[in-house]
Amino acid sequence: MTQTGVPDIAMAKRLEDLGYDSLGMADFIVGDGTPSFDAMLVLAAAATVTDTIGLEFGVLSLPLRPTAWIAAQIQTLQHLSGNRVTLGVGIGGFPGSPFWRAVGAPVQGRGRRADEALRALPGLIRGEATRLGEDQVTLGPAAPVPPILVGGNSEAAMRRAVRLGDGWVPSLISPAALRKKAVRLREIADELGRPVPSISVGGHAILVDDPAAVASFTRILVDVHGMTPEEAAAVPVTGTPAQVADRLHAYAEAGADTVGLSLDGGDWTRQAEALAEARAQLTHVRDA
């Protein structure tokens, strides 16, 4: 929800007017000069200029923050927004970065800390007395616990979603790869005797005619994320609204309940309108 590197809160109202279900904010503070903003503050600001659109963390790094602090902030954001929050969480993608070191966040044991936080957060948000280490903490005023979605493509993340979450958020994944993961998610849920979590895909879209931007993005997937060129080419969502609708339909067929797309490249307004048109076409197909 940024343009020219600066948060533009007016975009939140524009997305609401275009009929979007939710807007998301990534937790992307590295500390090396890369432009980034505090997700909690940006969504709080968005809550003040909107009325109905959902507010989603995509995703909040649990090991970066004390659990009680997260709970207090989520309580507050629920009250500010009229209970529009979706809490996407993860173990963090930048351990060992300058920011992580500066705030004393751990590099090791992140999964264990995330599990502990996920066990405590619902009770804390509901205003219940909750044991945190040697202390018993009660926060108020109580708020409804938002849907908790667990991010990550690994087996451990899928198991965490089944055990402690309401949904699972894979990212940078093609429909074909998602189909296989969705089968595995059901297997894990059966193994643990738990309900199958919802699936919310996190992806990237480039909906302007910019081959260089697409090539740059796929090169990052290969060089940084270790994908093959073929795998990387299947990740970014591009093309006309009709082609985007086809891709969204493919994700739904593969098992996705929702898809959240980060709009990369230039002309944000045009891209947001194109994605809204694609969504409308997909809805029309479902209603037909």
Looking at the structure of the chain, the number of domains it has is 1
Q: Say if 235 falls within a structural domain.
A: no
Q: Say if 211 falls within a structural domain.
A: no
Q: What's the pLDDT score for residue 267?
A: 87
Contact at 8 Å (CB) between 85 and 114?
no
Q: Say if 97 falls within a structural domain.
A: yes
CA angle 281–283–285, rounded 5-degree value: 70
Q: Say if 172 falls within a structural domain.
A: yes
Q: Which residues pair with 136 in a beta bridge?
A: 131
- Flag whether pLDDT at 4 surpasses 60: no
- pTM beyond 0.95: the answer is no
Q: Say if 228 falls within a structural domain.
A: no
Residue 150's identity, in one-letter code, is: V
Q: Say if 220 falls within a structural domain.
A: no
Instruction: Determine the straight-line distance between the first and last CA of the chain, rounded to whole angstroms.
Output: 33
Least confident range of 6-15, 36-45, 115-124, 146-155: 6-15
Q: Say if 136 falls within a structural domain.
A: yes
* DSSP per-residue letters across 124-157: HHTT--EEETTEEE--SS--PPPPEEEE-SSHHH
Q: What is the CATH number of the domain that holds 109?
A: 3.20.20.30
Q: Say if 198 falls within a structural domain.
A: yes
What mean pLDDT is predicted for residues 240-255?
A: 96
Range of the domain at 28: 2-205+246-265
Read off the tokens for 238. 């591009």
